Amino acid sequence: MATYLVTGSNRGIGLEYCRQLKERGDEVIATCRSSSSELEALKVRIESGIDVSSGASVLRLKKNLKETPIDVMIQNAGIAEFNSLENLDPESILRQFQVNALSPLCFTKAFISNLRKGSKVVLMTSRMGSIDDNTSGGSYGYRMSKVSLCMAGKSLSIDLKSSEISVGILHPGLVSTRMTGFTSNGITTQESVRGLLERIDSLTLENSGTFWHSNGQILPW
Ligand SMILES: NC(=O)c1ccc[n+]([C@@H]2O[C@H](COP(=O)([O-])OP(=O)(O)OC[C@H]3O[C@@H](n4cnc5c(N)ncnc54)[C@H](OP(=O)(O)O)[C@@H]3O)[C@@H](O)[C@H]2O)c1
């Protein structure tokens, strides 16, 4: 049994992570801005009122958790505001950068003392943060924030290696959640999280810092 912390756990992929982890007998610390009935039903430890982009929230969480050891820290919270070139909104781009890129990095730093040899940090990025895979353009804020998150993940994988902490940089697939307008082209959160947990379970110091699709494919930067 391991202890997993999941951010953005009240709905979507974060909620499904909590459900599958609880089902297989792991300890879950579910953080969220506000809880949901689905999350409450899982009977896991819930830390609500945690906005990942707020320093005060992160400090409060740190105070609540003290030095509780965390085996796997899943930075899942994210936002998507699809800015086109015609409709560039610098405020929106900055907001996405703050929530999707800067916050996971600062969150990781704040909880480094909770990690141990063998712990794992998981960053939920997106294929839309792959420069090589970008064939459709647009989505400036989201793409720029996720490519930054990938870079943060790569640096973390190098900087944390001597502490024997590995880093997974994971794309969940196109998943039917509120973020994607519950697209009918997407896979279910259940299928996505089954694949994501396989990737996390097989994450080691040797393959740390790799950019994976939940289906096991290695994605290009
Ligand atoms: N769905 C996809 O196809 C897809 C593809 C690639 C990558 N991803 C990534 O996967 C992750 C989960 O996405 P999803 O599809 O599950 O999206 P979702 O259904 O929209 O859920 C997003 C989650 O992030 C939380 N969140 C947003 N801003 C936050 C903040 N400032 N502080 C704390 N929590 C915050 C939301 O909480 P509230 O309820 O409080 O807003 C919600 O729990 C994201 O990082 C996303 O970029 C998703």
Model pLDDT for residues 63-99, shown as the tens digit of each residue: 999 999 999 999 999 999 988 999 899 999 999 999 9
Distance between CA atoms of residues 34 and 51, nearest Å: 9
Distance between CA atoms of residues 155 and 165, nearest Å: 12
Q: How far is the CA of 8 from the centre of ligand 1 (A)?
A: 6
CB 13 within 8 A of CB 60: no
CB 167 within 8 A of CB 209: yes
Distance between CA atoms of residues 211 and 189, nearest Å: 19
CB 98 within 8 A of CB 185: no
Q: What percent of the chain has pLDDT over 70?
A: 100
Give the model confidence (pLDDT) of 186-219 as tens digits.
999 999 999 999 999 999 999 999 999 999 999 9
Domains of the chain with bracketed CATH: 3-213 (3.40.50.720)
Q: How far is the CA of 124 from the centre of ligand 1 (A)?
A: 9
CB 211 within 8 A of CB 163: no
pLDDT reported for residue 73: 98
Give residue ranges with CB within 6 A of ligand 1: 7-8, 10-14, 32-34, 51-53, 76-80, 99, 124, 126, 171-172, 174-175, 177-180, 186
78 Cα nearest atom in ligand 1 = 45
Give the model confidence (pLDDT) of 13-33 as tens digits.
999 999 999 999 999 999 999
Round the CA-based radius of gyration of the chain to a whole number and report it: 16
Helix (H) or strand (E) run with residue 192 in it? helix 189-201
**One-letter amino acid for residue 82 of the chain:** F
